[in-house]
Structure formats: C-alpha cells, structure tokens
Amino acid sequence: MRRCVRGVLVVLTLCGSLLSAVSAQAVEERRAAPVPLERLFDNIAVSDDSRPAAADFDGAGASLSARDLTAAGWAPGRTLTVQGARLTWPRRQAGEPDNVRAAGQNVRVTGRGDALAFLVASTAGTEAGGPGTVTYGNGTRSGYRLTAPDWRTGPLATKAVALPHVNTPGGQLAEQARLYVVTVPLTPGRELASVRLPRAAGLHVFAVSVRTATQGWTGSWTTATGGYAAVGPWTDRTLRLVVRTSAGGPRVRMRFDNTFAAAPVRIGSATVAVQASGAAARGTPMPLSFGGEKGVEIPAGAQAYSDPLGFAVPADANLLVSFHLPGPVPAAPLHRLAQQRSYVSESGDHAADGTAGAYTSVITSWPLLAGVDVSGGPGSVVLLGDSITDGDKSTVDANRRWPNVLATRLLKQSAVPRYGVLNQGVSGNRVVTDRYPGDGVSTDTAGVSALHRFDRDVLAQPSARTAIVFEGVNDVRWGTSAEQVIAGLRELAARGQARGLRMLAATILPCEGETRCTAAVDAERVAVNEWIREGGVFDGVLDFDAVVRDPADPARMLPVYDSGDHLHPGDAGLAALANSVDLRLL
C-alpha cells in the first residue's frame, strides 16, 4: 500500500486495478458460497387474482393463482410430501419473490438420503434443464441432470399438482398450470453440503430437499394408484381396508396418497389391526398419528405418512387399516382391482371398533391407502406390472396373486434375504401409453404408463433393491409396435440402474385365443421377448413365457394354467410364475 501512495500515476492505476480485481474475486467467492434457496429467489410466480400484474412467472406477465394454490392445500410455508420427499412451498405471499431461475447458483442443502427432490417448472414453452453438481460434506462431488416440464404444456401424467387457472394482466384464463417434483440420485450414505443448480433458461426452482423417507423402512405392502374415480360419495364414513403383508417387523407406518387429486382430503383418524375375519379385528385396533395429531389433511397431489407405531406386524398376514373420512369425498385416487373385499361403515368414526357391526358395505378397491412399511428389514423387491401382476382372475380374498406366492417363498427360505414384495401391478396398464390421462375424475383406472409412474411406483418405494418389469402385452394388443415397447423397456432399465436398482425383466405371456391376440400381435410379442432374452440390457431375465406356454402351440397358454380367458393365468398359472423365479436373481 505504501508503494501505491508514493508511486507514480501508473503504479497507482495498477494498484487500483489490483484492488478492484481482489474485490471482484471476493464478491464472486461470496456469491459462490452456498446459501439457502429462499435467499436466492429472483422471480415472482404467484399473484393474487385481483392483482395479477404483481407477478410475472414466464416473462410474458402470466402467473399462478394464489387462490388456486390455497384451494389445493399448497398454502405458503406448507410442507408437502411428494414421492417420499418433504418439500416446503415457499413461505411468501402473493406478489413476493418465491422461486429462483436456475443459473448455476450454489444452494445449501443438508442431509443423507437416496435422492434429491426439486419442486420445479419450466417457462420455456418446452422442457428446460441441464447438468448440476452435488457437493458432499467430505468434499466429494457427483453430477446430476435436472429437467422440468413446461408449466402450461407439460404432461399431466407426471405433474405433482395441476391448478385450474393461469393469471394474466388481461384476465384469468381457464387453463391448467402444472408444477412438478423431479428427483435425481445421490451417493448413498454421504452427508450433503450443497447443490449447484444447472444453468438453464426457463428452469424455475421453488424448493429442494433430500429424500430421507425411505431410509430404515422395508415396504411390506403397497398398491399403485390407477386413477381418480368417483366413489361413494362418502361423508362421515370409515373405510376398513384389508391388505396382505409380505415382510413383518416391530414397528409400522402407513402411507396415504392423494395422487391425481385437485383438492385436499381429510383423514379424521386411523387405526391398524390384524384381521380376525371379515371386518372384525383381532384385538383392539391401534391408533395411528400424523405429526402427533389424530388426523391429517393431505394436499392435492401429496402424500401423508403416519408416525412410526410400535405394532408387531406379522409376515404374510392380513391387516385391517381403518380411516375415518369426516368430510365429503365424491372422488378419490384408488386402485380398482383389489381382488380383496374391504368395508365401509355406517355414519361415524368407527376406526377404533374391534367388531364388524358398523361395517355394512363392501368395496373391492383400495382408495387412498398406498403403502404399509415395517421398520428395519432387508429392503424390498418391486414388481411393476399389469393385470397379471395385479392378480386379475385369481381367487378373491385368497391372496393367490403371483407376488403373494413369491413373498411366501421368500419367507420360507434363508438362501437370500427375506425381502418385502411390493405389488405395483395395475390392470390394463401399458409400458409406453397412458390409459388414465393423469388428471381429473375418470372411469379409466388403468393408470398412467409404466414410464410415467416409474418414479412414484418404483424409485420412491422404501429401500427398494430390485425391480421386476413384467409389462407389454397390453401395448402389443392395442397396436404398439415391438420397437416402441423395447424402447420403453430399455428406458426403464436405464432409469432403474442409474438409481442403483437391480433391474429384471419378465417375458410376455402367450395369449392366443383372446380376441385381440392375433397372429400379428403374437409376432410383436415374440419380438419383444427375443430382445428381453438376448438384449443384455436388464440384469436378469424371468422367462415367464417359457413357464406357461403350450409346447405344442407356443402362442397359447397351457390349459392347466389358463384362467379361461386365454390372457390371464388362473391360480395355478400364477403360482407357476412365482415358483419359477430364481430367488438368487433378486
């Protein structure tokens, strides 16, 4: 500094430049230091309906409606669970900065988990995204790629929530606005320190968190939400659902999903018990809690996990999961084909009833309830399938679906871990085509495609170790080419393997004799099966086709395994599939 004071003008100039450079470097270093996401908010996405010009989400003056968000249960500061990740909707009022435009910012995020979850949307008119970097507490790094669909044109099948309006300075439009939750993998077991966002024009980030909900739990039972359908309507009714466990454990928690919904749903109380018979419990049902409360409101598109409960869950047994719905429920997310009778009560909260007297109606679907987890355990195997995995044509109330038989096999051996078995079969489901459009009340409950439900139904399942993909017959029966099915299966394998899952594929069963199973369809089926067997893409193959086909007519199922419709195996055929699985592949 003394030289600067005593030097000539040139030296002073050089010293000034040096100081400026040092100052700029310090500013850049401060900029690069990780900070909480909310300190980086530089865009306003939400407006009051009466003041739409106070927000400009997309650069053209359009924005989300604060009233619509509140109606969906997405109030400022509300923590929502989506795909097993807890994300907090920004605690900002309408007209205040509530999201960041991704431009390489360094965000402070801590925790250990299997995935990083982002609440995002694009305003680019198409999907937007790019590469980012995760830094761990030990100084190591891993890369990721984040891509968000557009908030006005992205697929409804994968949205977290859809809102009914778009606000503009010229007035409100009756057009759906979408928000998405996207997850990317983390290095297991490492403590996170920060996340560098991508540099991606049009990519907006509202929240980010580490998904920890799957740690320390094994999935014992689950079902896939196939659609959003009219029910009841139920007001002040209690549902008592019967579900079959696979793995057992000393503690339990339940997961309720409000997937595909446009409005919140309220659960007033809930209990769990071992089934005695019908709607009668063995012993007194045990009350569940949610964040210490008796009940919970589940926002549109979100989930609710009950608090861990000390309750000895028996393996391979029926549970009664009862929950009271105090308000009107005219439609609900559900799994249609339960192949199991469950029960609806007369008016009132009967969740704590040990007797069956109040349960006067029978249903054969599973609304709202989506998972039963037990503490500890070796993790789970997830079966992604269609009606054959769903158990169509198996004996009702007998638990003779092939996943149930596989679960029993695992429990009776000690050569491999006794994994939980999670049945994510949906009757009518396809690999590459959505049957249910992903939004609104519909009579079609065949679900969104395997590609669109893979994140929710496989990757987000607790402690998933292996996934078996057993789909494709509905695709080829309805005109999808073998090449398209193969492309979809290839993508599923890659996505699962990128998350550390062992990915297995099962060959498609023959179905000659069923109306749509023509010779041309069988040729497509055979082509897919040849690729599965020889492609080397999956980590292992279950040749279910070879198990049930008639050697004298390979396009047809053996009569002893046929349920009678030539498409679905009966109880004997489903058992043959499960018994053919080499458990060492799991």
Domain end (from 306, 337, 372) = 372
Residue 567 maps to a domain: yes
Residue 363 maps to a domain: yes
pLDDT of residue 15 exceeding 60, the answer is: no
Q: Which domain holds residue 244?
A: 226-372
Helices (runs of H) and strands (runs of E) counted in the chain:
11, 38
153 and 280 inside one domain: no
460 and 315 inside one domain: no
122 and 12 inside one domain: no
Residue 548 maps to a domain: yes
Query: Distance between CA atoms of 270 and 299, rounded to whole angstroms?
Result: 17
Answering whether pTM is above 0.75, one says: yes
Question: pLDDT digit string (tens) for 120-168?
Answer: 999 999 999 999 999 999 999 999 999 999 999 999 999 999 999 999 9
Q: Determine the length of the chain.
A: 586
Residue 521: phi, psi to the nearest 5?
-65, -40
Confidence of residue 214 (pLDDT cuts 50, 70, 90): confident
Q: Which residue has the tokens 């062992």?
A: 502
Residue 239 maps to a domain: yes
Q: Is the dihedral of CA 72, 309, 84, 105 positive or negative?
A: positive
Least Cα distance to 70 among 297, 279, 271 occurs for: 297
45 and 155 inside one domain: yes
* Contact call for residues 402 and 578 (beta carbons, < 8 A): yes
pLDDT, average across residues 311-322: 98
Confidence of residue 32 (pLDDT cuts 50, 70, 90): confident
What's the pLDDT at 188? 87
β-sheet bridge partners, residue 99: 43
* Contact call for residues 189 and 136 (beta carbons, < 8 A): no
Query: Distance between CA atoms of 282 and 312, rounded to whole angstroms?
Result: 13
Q: Which residue has the tokens 């709202």?
A: 368
DSSP secondary structure string for all residues of 472-486: -HHHHHTT--HHHHH
Residue 368: phi, psi to the nearest 5?
70, -45
- Side chain identity at 213, as an amino acid letter? A
Domain end (from 338, 372, 406) = 372
204 and 56 inside one domain: yes
Least Cα distance to 167 among 281, 56, 304 occurs for: 56
- Geometric angle at alpha carbon 303, from 298 and 307, rounded to 5°: 90
185 and 205 inside one domain: yes
Least Cα distance to 67 among 163, 207, 156 occurs for: 163
154 and 46 inside one domain: yes
Residue 217 maps to a domain: no
Residue 443 maps to a domain: yes
Question: pLDDT digit string (tens) for 550-582?
Answer: 999 999 999 999 999 999 999 999 999 999 999
Confidence of residue 483 (pLDDT cuts 50, 70, 90): very high
25 and 66 inside one domain: no
pLDDT of residue 329 exceeding 50, the answer is: yes
188 and 53 inside one domain: yes
Confidence of residue 523 (pLDDT cuts 50, 70, 90): very high
Question: pLDDT digit string (tens) for 402-455?
Answer: 999 999 999 999 999 999 999 999 999 999 999 999 999 999 999 999 999 999
What's the pLDDT at 430? 98
270 and 358 inside one domain: yes
Domain end (from 158, 178, 211) = 211
Query: Distance between CA atoms of 134 and 106, rounded to whole angstroms?
Result: 9
- Average pLDDT, whole number, for the chain? 94
331 and 310 inside one domain: yes
Residue 559 maps to a domain: yes
The Cβ of residue 168 has, within 10 Å, a number of other Cβ atoms equal to: 18
Least Cα distance to 65 among 90, 77, 43, 47 occurs for: 47
Residue 220 maps to a domain: no
Total tally of structural domains belonging to the chain: 4
β-sheet bridge partners, residue 206: none
What's the pLDDT at 6? 37
525 and 462 inside one domain: yes
pLDDT, average across residues 215-230: 96
Please give the DSSP secondary-structure letter assigned to residue 512: B
β-sheet bridge partners, residue 436: none
482: region left, alpha or beta (phi > 0 left; psi from -120 to 50 alpha)? alpha
Confidence of residue 215 (pLDDT cuts 50, 70, 90): confident
β-sheet bridge partners, residue 180: 120
Query: Distance between CA atoms of 392 and 400, rounded to whole angstroms?
Result: 10
